[in-house]
Amino acid sequence: MADEVPAELKPAPLSGSGRETYDDRPIHAEPGELPPEVQAPLAEYKGAEPPAPQWFKDAIAQLPERSFVESLGTRLEVLTWGEVGKPGLLFVHGNSAHADWWSFIAPFFAADYRVTSMSLAGMGASDWRDRYAFSDFAQDAEAVARATGLYAGGRKPIYIGHSFGGGQVFFAAVKHPERMHAAIMVDTGFGPPPEEMARRMAQMEAVRNIPTADRPARIYPTMEAALARFRLMPPQPAGNPYIADFIARRSLKNVPMPDGSGEGWTWRFDPNMWAKLNRDQDMRGEGPAPTDVKTPMVHIYGAKSRIVEHRKAGAPSPFPAGMIEIEIPDAHHHIMIDQPLALVAALRALLAAWPG
């Protein structure tokens, strides 16, 4: 995500422990409000691509098939790897992200699985909507899974979702357990403790310069200028800048400059997604937290993420008691950026032995 996104809350400062405040909604921060490695992790590269290791080059060289699937009148961007007829995996990204957040992870599974990564409606190259709802995201995931052959192997697919996408995977698993074999959430939370949320809500009126319908997102004159403003949300350093750069470049699109001087760059996601999101539904489904979750579930989280701390402090969580949880050392919220190979190893080991 980038700092020129719609904001609802200002960020709390990073603590000395290196743990970031968890909230995957876009927020705004003024220049200098965060440390440089958090505020603008790509600025020092001045538009150049950071050096990358060979494993990463080999992974992204396994180019996906790029196509679109229609769901509820919306075209959804999908990337696919592997042969139809093998067990299906569906990867779902976080808020304001896109399908390419998994482009350097998914190829590690293509030999054994039919793999799909989708861009949620309003994000990536998928169409925007007048309104967004958890139930619609669940319907979209099912449409994508069927259209890309994830059921063709004779077994229902396994859904894997990060952050906000993990929330959508959880919602779909609870409401439609018949659609999936299992669900894996990656560093997925459900908001901070009530007292912290109250404090943040009180700060909302102080936030200014937020893109809205009548105050559009900023357009940058060059790719370099746009990359210099990219940052992760919730705020954290970019553990591997070459991954952040890969993601950031694919987060941008060409648009006309307001003064007619040519084309510039802006972020691809709908800046008003949160304002359009139907909050009558939440990641738990309707009513209180479910007590009978039928879908096998696992949660993978970063050791430096605030997810577990918030839950211990009283943050709401509908995860079932006794659910398997796997910690990835030396990782913040964006595990695929901080510890991509550790995430691959954890997923591989998990899929080899679970859910049976």
pLDDT given at position 19: 39
Cβ within 8 Å of residue 203, ≥6 positions away: 9, 10
pLDDT band, residue 8 (cuts 50/70/90): very low
Structure confidence by residue, pLDDT tens digits, 12-56: 333 333 433 334 554 555 556 678 888 899 999 999 999 999 999
pLDDT given at position 306: 76
- Residue 46, CA distances (Å) to 1, 49, 227, 230, 274 in order: 18, 9, 8, 12, 31
pLDDT band, residue 9 (cuts 50/70/90): very low
Residues in the chain: 356
Look at 160 and 37; give whichever has higher pLDDT. Answer: 160
DSSP 291-348: S---S-EEEEEETTSSHHHHHHTT----PPTT-EEEEETT--S-HHHHSHHHHHHHHH
**Percent residues over pLDDT 70 in the chain:** 79
Q: Average pLDDT for residues 97-124, to the nearest whole number?
A: 98
pLDDT given at position 29: 57
Contact of 65 with 79, CB cutoff 8 Å: yes
The pTM score is 0.87
pLDDT given at position 209: 41
Q: Which CATH class is domain 1-356?
A: alpha beta
Structure confidence by residue, pLDDT tens digits, 191-242: 655 455 455 445 444 443 444 444 457 899 999 999 999 999 888 889 999 9
Strand partners, 302: 328
Spatial distance between the Cα atoms of 225 and 257, rounded to a whole number of angstroms = 14
Domain locations in the chain as residue ranges: 1-356
b/e 89-116 (16+ beta carbons within 10 angstroms → b): bbbbbbbbbbbbbbbbbbbbbbeebbbb
pLDDT given at position 196: 53
Contact of 125 with 273, CB cutoff 8 Å: no
pLDDT given at position 234: 82
Average pLDDT, the chain: 85
Which stretch of 95-99, 140-144, 179-183, 275-279 has the lowest confidence by average pLDDT?
275-279
Which stretch of 71-75, 83-87, 209-213, 271-275 has the lowest confidence by average pLDDT?
209-213
Q: Tokens 């139930």 identify what position?
A: 135
